[in-house]
Amino acid sequence: MSIELKTSAELEALAGGSDKAVSRLTFLFDDGKFTETGRYVTSGGSLSGVVTGFGYVDGVPVYAFSQDISAKSGALTKQGADKISALYSLAAETGAPVVGIYDSYGADVSDALTSLTSYGELLLKSANLSGVVPTVSVVCGVCAGAAAMLAVGADLVVVTKDSELYVSPNSGIKDLAANAAATGVAALVADDDAAAFAAVKSFLGRVPQNNLAPVPMYEFEEPTAAFGTDAISQAEAVFDEGSVKELYADFGKAAFTALASIGGSCVGVLATNKTDDKLTVHDCAKLARFMRMLDCFNIPAVTFVDTQGFKNDEAAQKCGAVKAMAKVSHAYAEATNVKVSVVTGKAYGTAFMALAGKGANSDMTFALDSSVISALDPLTAVEFLSHDKLAGAEDLAAARQALADEYVSKECSAYAAAQCGAVDGVVTAAQVRGAVREAVEIMAGKRAQRLPKKHSNIQL
């Protein structure tokens, strides 16, 4: 098969992509400057459908591609896939992050079978990059079919509020961007392209360049917020001023996940008391995936534990509550990054073991002096331990509560937990920041070994 060669003027006329595809890359890179790759690659005598290149984001080298909706509705052609594939290969060889900007209705239907093969190769390369370099997907328009599968495989997915992310059309969901956030597919929804890339730049500036690079360090200011009773106020009181950036706020409402810094060092924050609700299947999925992302890049994890446990009613059981509990516990146990836990309120039973248990799931655990740590809900415990004392009580509820309060004060205090070695120390609210910072710093050189294997078989 011969290739019709074009003149330099003809190639230049077809080169690159639309202004929109290029401008999105300028939003991403420092000073809007990047070096384009594969500029003169064409598909069937027209644009290849994607602009690829590399540059710097806050001084860190980054590779990126931007789909061009003006070329065959952004359809992925064989030539466009080859450009993205070459970019993935460069990222793997040089250990630099990859940002994919999606605006396409899917594969090139005029050569559907070839496009399917191309997507298969991209999915393989993307999977191989996972855990090696940070990957980010930015959905700025339509992201459909196989492209959606490719986009969602990234470490961080950001969608603009008017974008559409789906595998098959006609789902009946009107606000697909909000749905992506509510289901945990997207970490956040941005108002426009500029806001989306500002979030991406913030993320890339906080995580290591690759899985062998050190955790970033920043200049920092001491926090000024008061230590409250919910996850957000506690995080703002413990971590460096202005450093807490929440992710997945619309998914798993009882749990809290964020990137932050303490003493200038990047950390991940996980907490269970954004609301007073028990942990649901979605909360478990949110905590587990975030912990695994932190572990990929050896980012220390700080967990604030304040929960009565996992939601375990009939509806939760039908949704696979036990599987969800196993998932989050497995994620914590398998992770070899630095893990510091602080019990800031209630920590009952399996929730304490999964999120703060010494040995596997936490390297160092502290407890607020007012916290309650119990193998069972105290009200349940007194039913087992003091059932005879409840017999004949005039006000059963009041008698049960009095016994539960007594049980908490004697058996479930932070000091009782420290006495038996369940926690490493008891701290006041004012001491939490210092304890966490010192623990993160002293364990920075942590080394951990696991049995040789391909991978663990985590519940999904």
Q: pLDDT tens digits, the chain, 460 residues: what are they?
A: 445 555 555 445 555 556 889 999 999 999 999 999 988 887 666 667 899 999 999 999 999 999 988 777 677 888 889 999 999 999 999 999 999 999 987 666 666 677 778 888 999 999 999 999 999 999 999 998 888 999 999 999 999 999 999 987 767 888 999 999 999 999 999 999 999 999 999 999 999 999 999 999 989 999 999 999 999 999 999 999 999 999 999 999 999 999 999 999 999 999 999 988 899 999 999 999 999 999 999 999 999 999 988 887 788 888 888 999 999 999 999 999 999 999 999 998 889 999 999 878 999 999 999 999 998 887 777 777 776 777 767 777 777 777 778 888 888 999 999 999 999 999 999 999 999 999 999 999 999 888 999 999 999 8
How is residue 432 written in tokens? 């939490």
Q: Please state, in angstroms and rounded to a whole number, the distance separating the CA atoms of residues 151 and 171.
A: 19
Are 132 and 151 a contacting pair, CB within 8 Å? Answer: no
- For the chain, how far is it from start to end, CA to CA, in angstroms? 47
Q: Please state, in angstroms and rounded to a whole number, the distance separating the CA atoms of residues 43 and 236.
A: 51
**Minimal CA–CA distance to 315: which of 278, 360, 269?**
278
**Minimal CA–CA distance to 402: which of 378, 375, 425, 419?**
378
Amino acid letter, residue 338: V
What contacts 441, CB < 8 A, 6 or more positions away?
A: 263, 265
Q: Please state, in angstroms and rounded to a whole number, the distance separating the CA atoms of residues 100 and 119.
A: 14
Q: Please give the backbone phi and psi of residue 213, each rounded to the nearest 5 degrees, phi first.
A: -85, 155
Q: Please state, in angstroms and rounded to a whole number, the distance separating the CA atoms of residues 2 and 61.
A: 38
Q: Please state, in angstroms and rounded to a whole number, the distance separating the CA atoms of residues 406 and 178.
A: 46
Are 25 and 34 a contacting pair, CB within 8 Å? Answer: yes
**Minimal CA–CA distance to 246: which of 217, 280, 274, 284?**
274
pLDDT at 72: 74
pLDDT at 11: 45
Q: Please state, in angstroms and rounded to a whole number, the distance separating the CA atoms of residues 118 and 114.
A: 6
Point out which residues pair with 260 in neighbouring strands.
Answer: 267
Q: Please state, in angstroms and rounded to a whole number, the distance separating the CA atoms of residues 95 and 362.
A: 29
What contacts 97, CB < 8 A, 6 or more positions away?
A: 57, 60, 62, 63, 91, 133, 134, 135, 136, 204, 209, 210
Q: Please state, in angstroms and rounded to a whole number, the distance separating the CA atoms of residues 66 and 74.
A: 10
Are 273 and 345 a contacting pair, CB within 8 Å? Answer: yes
Per-position DSSP letters for 322-373, written without gaps between them: HHHHHHHHHHHHH--S-EEEEEEEEEEHHHHHHHH-BTTTBSEEEEETT-EE
Q: Please state, in angstroms and rounded to a whole number, the distance separating the CA atoms of residues 291 and 211.
A: 15
What ranges make up the beta strands (E) of 191-348? 245-247, 256-262, 265-271, 301-307, 339-348
Residues 425, 427, 430: CA angle, nearest 5 degrees: 150
How is residue 336 written in tokens? 């070899």
Q: Please state, in angstroms and rounded to a whole number, the distance separating the CA atoms of residues 205 and 213.
A: 13
**Residue-wise pLDDT tens digits, 177-201:** 999 999 999 999 999 999 999 999 9
Domains in the chain (CATH in brackets) are 8-204 (3.90.226.10), 231-371+413-442 (3.90.226.10)
Amino acid letter, residue 15: A
What 3-state DSSP class applies to 309?
coil
Rounded to the nearest 10°, the torsion over CA 337, 212, 129, 154 is: 50
User: Which residue is listed with tokens 């392209």?
Assistant: 193
The helix (H) or strand (E) run that includes residue 52 is strand 50-57
Tell me the CA distances in angstroms from 123 to 2, 38, 151, 163, one per residue in order: 30, 20, 9, 22
